[in-house]
């Protein structure tokens, strides 16, 4: 059964289209991320699901029921914001119980359910504290508990990790994902962070300018990007402009090996991931000049100029006896890749 369905959903502000005719379904227990650059319509979409924004056209269905015209409290969704939005004058337990109180759940039941939700996020020992007495990560877990306690049909998360520092972000990320999986929560998460989306989601919906560019699993988007925008937004990609010819793909930096898979007819871009390119000192390959070496610890990132075109290569940092040890900026190098890893894309 489909738990959440958006049918031709659209939102227009004056003459600006924030979301244009979007279609999407999420199955029971699935986590789907809405990913895309700032301003592409992610929050607007999420808030139309929650009921805080009325769509200009289209409908929202939850478990098969049309909820487009229902108030937020009648939709059985729970929304968690990046800013946590906890009530400062209420304790942790009171914050978590608040939604149940609104639903007229009796006191004893409220307390039992809130405690249960707090246990799930491992904060039951802090139930008498006030939000200001908690760390950012703890506050975000209270916000999660406040959503979980409602046992929502659809759980909505708007950039839930973006206020947390890097290390905490990783922890809360795993916590959200394992809760979501163990409770089989149908979840729609908004993020602009591709790593977050790739690691947490069953499926991703990549948006741009109010529309869907591509939807699929992390592997679909990473390995089979539909266009140059997707290739560049999901992971990193070298995207080189040119045109396909009999002999290969002609670019300002020479004719490149044609991709094994036939791309779109008339494709104008050649895409190759940085980690799919090997850099060598001599032998076969496209000639270039090494411009920059960025040591990243386990990996090293190289910028190689093919004529005027910079190409990024990411490779394991060479050991002292490695052929690549002691490379210097300015050196002539050659780049090689397999035609199986290259793709032809449109803009
Ligand atoms: N209340 C509003 N009035 C007018 N324009 C809005 C309003 N809310 C959002 N927008 C516009 O709609 C577009 C999508 O916004 P939003 O959904 O917040 O993007 P995202 O969450 O992807 O960053 C943006 O161009 C934004 O400026
Ligand atoms: Mg947003």
Q: Which of 12, 39, 52, 207 to mutate to test the pocket of ligand 1 (most atoms within 8 A of CB)?
A: 39
DSSP 3-state of 254: strand
List phi, psi (to 5°) of 209: 45, 45
Taking residue 225's Cβ as centre, other Cβ atoms within 10 Å add up to: 25
38 CB less than 6 Å from ligand 1?
Answer: yes
Residue 246 has pLDDT above 70, yes or no: yes
Q: How far is the CA of 55 from the centre of ligand 1 (A)?
A: 13
Q: Work out the average pLDDT over 26-48.
A: 96
Q: Ligand 1 test: best mutation among 15, 41, 188, 233, most atoms within 8 Å of CB? A: 41
CA atoms within 13 A on the CB side of 17: 11
Ligand closest to CA 205? 1
Which protein residue has the closest C-alpha to ligand 1 atom 14?
41
In the predicted model, is pLDDT for residue 84 greater than 80?
Answer: no
Ligand nearest to the CA of 157: 2
Lookup: tokens for 97: 């119980």
Q: What letter does residue 317 receive in the DSSP assignment? A: P
Could you tell me the distance, in angstroms and rounded to a whole number, from the CA of residue 35 to the centre of ligand 2? 10
The whole-number pLDDT of residue 52 equals: 95
Q: What pLDDT was estimated at residue 149?
A: 95
Compute the distance from residue 79 Cα to the ligand 1 centre, in Å.
18
* Domains of the chain, first to last: 2-223 (3.40.50.300), 236-345 (2.40.50.140)
Å from CA of 259 to ligand 2 middle:
37
Torsion of CA 111, 115, 116, 117, to 10 degrees: 100
Strands 31-35 and 203-208: parallel
CA nearest ligand 1 atom 16, residue: 41
Q: Is the CB of 44 under 6 A from ligand 1?
A: yes
pLDDT score for 141: 92
Q: How many CB atoms lie within 10 A of CB 132?
A: 8
Please answer whether residues 152 and 76 qualify as being in contact, where contact means their C-beta atoms are separated by less than 8 angstroms.
yes
Query: Strand pairing of 16-27 and 57-62?
Result: unpaired
How many angstroms separate the CA atoms of 297 and 313, rounded? 15
Q: Which pLDDT score is estimated for 248?
A: 82
Ligand 1 in contact with 43 (CB < 6 A)?
yes
How many Å is the Cα radius of gyration of the chain? 24
Task: Give the nearest ligand 1 atom to 38 CA.
Answer: 23
Question: Which tens digit of pLDDT belongs to each residue from 279-297?
Answer: 998 888 899 999 999 999 9
Distance, CA of 130 to CA of 89 (rounded, Å): 7
Q: What is the mean pLDDT of residues 15-25?
A: 96
Give the model's confidence band at 265: pLDDT under 50 very low, under 70 low, under 90 confident, else very high.
low
Average pLDDT in the chain: 92
Confidence of residue 128 (pLDDT cuts 50, 70, 90): very high
Q: Whose CA is nearest to atom 3 of ligand 1?
A: 13
Residue range 298-321, pLDDT digits in tens:
999 999 999 899 999 999 999 988
Check if the beta carbon of residue 23 is closer than 8 Å to that of residue 61. Answer: no
Closest C-alpha to 47, from 19, 16, 21: 19
Average pLDDT of 2-28? 95
* pLDDT attached to residue 1: 60
Tell me which of 6, 9, 13, 194 to substitute to probe ligand 1's pocket, judged by most ligand atoms within 8 Å of the beta carbon: 13
Which ligand 1 atom sits nearest the alpha carbon of residue 53? 1
Calpha distance 105→96 (Å, rounded): 13
> What's the rounded Cα separation, in Å, for the pair 130 and 274?
48
User: Which two structure tokens, joined as six digits, stand for 280?
Assistant: 């060598």
Distance 7 CA to ligand 1 centre (A): 20
Which range, of 59-63, 139-143, 243-247, averages the lowest pLDDT?
Answer: 243-247
Q: What is the pLDDT of residue 186?
A: 97
* Best CA proximity match to 131, nearest among 154, 107, 98, 179: 98
Residue 258 pLDDT more than 90? no
Q: Could you report the per-residue pLDDT of 157-187, keeping only the tens digit for each? A: 999 888 888 888 888 899 999 999 999 999 9
Predicted confidence (pLDDT) per residue in 207-221, tens digit: 999 999 999 999 999
Q: What backbone phi and psi angles, to 5 degrees, belong to 190?
A: -100, 135
pLDDT attached to residue 214: 96
Choose between 207 and 82: higher pLDDT.
207
Q: Residue 264's pLDDT band (boundaries 50, 70, 90)? A: low
Confidence of residue 263 (pLDDT cuts 50, 70, 90): low
* Ligand index nearest the alpha carbon of residue 36: 1
Distance 307 CA to ligand 1 centre (A): 41
Compute the distance between CA of residue 26 and CA of residue 155 in angstroms, rounded to an integer: 11
- Give one word for 239, left, alpha or beta, with left for phi > 0 and alpha for psi -120 to 50: beta
């Amino acid at each position: 059964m489909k738990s959440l369905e958006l049918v031709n959903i659209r939102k227009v502000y004056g003459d600006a289209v924030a979301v244009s005719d979007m279609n999407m379904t999420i199955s029971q227990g699935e986590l789907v991320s809405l990913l895309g650059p700032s301003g592409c319509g992610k929050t607007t979409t999420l808030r139309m699901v929650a009921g805080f924004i009325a769509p200009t056209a289209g409908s929202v269905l939850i478990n098969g029921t049309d909820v487009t015209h229902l108030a937020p409290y009648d939709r059985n969704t729970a929304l968690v914001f990046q800013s946590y939005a906890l009530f400062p004058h209420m304790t942790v337990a009171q914050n978590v119980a608040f939604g149940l109180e609104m639903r007229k759940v009796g006191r004893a039941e409220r307390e039992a359910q809130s405690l249960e939700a707090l246990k799930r996020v491992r904060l039951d020992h802090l139930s008498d504290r006030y939000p200001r007495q908690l760390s950012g990560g703890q506050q975000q877990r209270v916000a999660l508990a406040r959503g979980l306690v409602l046992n929502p049909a659809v759980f909505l998360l708007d950039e839930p990790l973006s206020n947390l520092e890097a290390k905490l972000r990783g922890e809360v990320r795993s916590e959200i994902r394992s809760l979501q999986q163990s409770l089989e929560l149908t979840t729609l998460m908004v993020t602009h962070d591709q790593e977050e989306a790739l690691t947490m989601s069953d499926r991703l919906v990549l948006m741009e300018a109010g529309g869907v560019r591509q939807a699929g699993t992390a592997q679909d988007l990473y390995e089979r990007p539909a266009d140059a925008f997707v290739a560049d937004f999901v992971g990193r990609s070298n995207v080189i402009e040119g045109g396909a010819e009999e002999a290969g793909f002609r670019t300002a930096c020479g004719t490149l090996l044609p991709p094994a898979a036939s791309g779109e007819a008339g494709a104008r871009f050649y895409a190759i991931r940085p980690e799919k390119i090997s850099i060598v000192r001599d032998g076969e390959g496209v000639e270039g000049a090494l411009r920059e070496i960025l040591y990243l610890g386990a990996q090293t990132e190289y910028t190689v100029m093919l004529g005027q075109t910079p190409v990024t290569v990411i490779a394991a940092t060479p050991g002292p006896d490695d052929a690549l040890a002691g490379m210097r900026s300015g050196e002539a190098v050659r780049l090689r890749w397999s035609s199986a890893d290259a793709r032809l894309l449109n803009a």
